[in-house]
Chain A
Amino acid sequence: MEGLEVIDLWVEVEGKMILKGVNLALPRGEIHVLMGPNGAGKSTLAMTIAGHPKYKVVRGKILLDGEDITNDPPEERARKGLAVLFQMPPELEGVTVAELLNKIKERSGCKEDVYDLLRESNLPSEMAYRYVNKGFSGGERKRFELSRILAMKPKIVIMDEPDSGVDIESLKVIAEGVKRLQRERAGVLVITHYRNILKYIVPNKVHIMIDGKIVKSGGVELIEIVEKKGFKEVVAA
């Protein structure tokens, strides 16, 4: 399949099993939403797909365009077309936005210039000379994440809570970014436990994760049920 496939994924973090057999298929060109209560394992799934060394895959595999990337180092996954929007991206003191974007572009072959990439996220051009994430507001961080992901020209994007701690303006910008990625035939998985961003994007599918497993998948109607009755009811329904 062209896209991301997660097959029976079991993941341990510091000796504790967090993911207990996750199955997920995200074709390119589709937007999926992953919802679930705190501690369900959503961020663990994002970090495991990204290849964080702290997350140990005990069983199962991750495929990108049909290729097994379960044991690839993170940089290899990125080069094959995977991008992850960080929930809390760290500060990179001394590394300017322009320098980082240029280096990413060099690798991905992205032709847009730094200012255009920033403009895509509604960030001012002066941002180019600031250090990455240093002194950025919550919204600026998320918007910069979007810019650098656009520069990566990814095939699959995992967004770990792109809508947490941001203002309405940033939310709209990120939603536009998701749509653009979809137009460019990327598959986007939006992890969230708020409804806010779902006012601006229309997902092809919604997945509900509880206690390390995807317990239900369906259409946008699931969001409504979650909103009204909570996660437990969705499972029962």
Chain B
Amino acid sequence: MKSPSQIIKYYAEEIARKLKEPEWALRKRIRAAEIYEKAPTPPWMPEDFDLEAFASKAAEEEPLKPGEGEIPEWYKTILERIGVPEIEQSMLAGVTVMVNENVVYEAQKKELKRKGVILESLDEAVRRHENIVKEYLHRAQVPEVHKLAALHIALRRGGTFVYVPKGVRVPFPVQAFFVITEEQLAQTEHTLIIADENSYLHFIEGCIVPIPAPYSMHLGGSEFYSLKGARLRISSLENWIGKVIHVPVKGAEVHEGARLEELSVVMGGIRVGMRPRIRLIGKGAKLSFNSVAFLRNEMKSWSGSTVVHEAPKTNSSIVNRTVMKDSSSDEFLGEIIVKKGAKGVIGHQACNTLLLNDGAINTTIPKLVSEVSDADLAHEGTVGKIGEDQVFYLRSMGFAEHEAIQMLTLGFIDPLIQDLPADYVRAIREIVKMTLNAA
């Protein structure tokens, strides 16, 4: 009988061999496989998790690309409604870059190349850019956090790599806009983004056109590095179709005088577990992390984040807005930790939950830990339903009750998504509308 670590190692080696990975990359996998057994089990780990089945699927030759017939009809309707041609227009206007498929807009690709920006699949980057990748890969997203974090590292495959050199400002948002790319359908894909000193990048990844995933558990990962003086903006939209367990592992580092501004929108799936760990390690580092979630049916979710202030004068702002319907449940754990020596820290978090009916359950747990006396930490939490006064106000203008609820629910998340490109805002709104209208 093989031990869990032995099982993982077997498949980790198989993946590394297939990807023709250098020795250093394999060693990261092996180390994670060894840590797996000692690492704690996250609460969102499926009770009936079958390690061998998961690992063998992750190592399969090619992830299955679903056929045209498997895209549900109602989703095509969304596509029409949000107007795919408009997305193509934005591509021509020079805002859309697709990674891993050969549709990167040529002019933009040239521009990125001229500036020295690297934009390619992570598997390729591991082979070609050891000098950069080796130092950062799995430094912010570490195996010790919990079993799934370790498993992700051991079985990592696919995903995107972006590197912006020192002082380079990318004037347009780079969108990894995956329609149906095999890379992005991988079960354990990893996104690694590094904004080097004094650079600027807005990276958007969206799964606007999702399809039922060809597996039951998605264990993706991401790492964002905003180095000294850089500003990195990350916007991600994920909508999972079908009974997918979505448990990505995420980590980030913000260095001296740097900023990280993240927006994450997650919808769909049956079980969602993710608590990114973000470290503010340089003096004056700033973090703004906004997240929006929409839960329905019997969805179970474990959300929140851990922000660690390790340097003086660091500043974090976390805003989470969750809409809950049916008998979904969510446990939000918002953790802010201030380490010794980190003087003059400001850390604020707000968690607002909108319950659309009785039966949905929200638990919000703030955890503010400070090892210094002068930290300014605050948590604000609200749980409530849509205001009757607002509904009546809208009804008195001629809107039916369900229209009023729809407008107010969209309004609830609007303050967080309004800075996204219009295509994305429209897509999010359409998905929310469909979810609200579904019985």
Contact = CB atoms under 8 A, between A and B. Distances in A.
A90 B397 contact: no
Interface string A18-53: 000000000000000000000000000000001111
Cβ-closest 7 pairs across A and B = A94-B411, A94-B414, A78-B398, A74-B395, A95-B411, A90-B389, A75-B395
B396 interface: yes
Contacts of B387: 90
A161 to B, nearest CB: 16
A106 to B, nearest CB: 10
A131 interface: yes
Secondary structure type dominating chain B contacts? helix
Contacts of A99: 407
Contacts of A73: 395, 401
Interface string B399-420: 1110000011011111100000
A92 B387 CA distance: 10
Interface in B183-213: none
Instruction: Identify the interface centre among B387, B397, B399: most chain A CB within 10 Å of its CB.
Output: B397
Contacts of B410: 94-95
Interface in A131-148: 131, 148
A94 B392 contact: no
Contact of B411 (A75, A131, A152): A131
Interface residues of B, number: 21
B415 A93 contact: yes
B415 A94 contact: yes
A216 interface: no
Contacts of B395: 51, 73-75, 78
Interface residues of A, number: 29
B411 A78 contact: no
22 contacts: A51-B396, A73-B395, A73-B401, A75-B399, A78-B397, A83-B397, A91-B390, A92-B393, A92-B411, A93-B411, A94-B410, A94-B413, A94-B414, A94-B415, A95-B407, A95-B414, A103-B399, A103-B407, A104-B398, A107-B398, A108-B398, A131-B414
A53 B397 contact: no
Nearest to A129: B418
A90 B404 CA distance: 13
Given A94-B410, A94-B414, A50 B390 contact: no
B411 A50 contact: no
Contacts of B393: 86, 89-90, 92
A117 interface: no
B396 A92 contact: no
B413 A152 contact: no
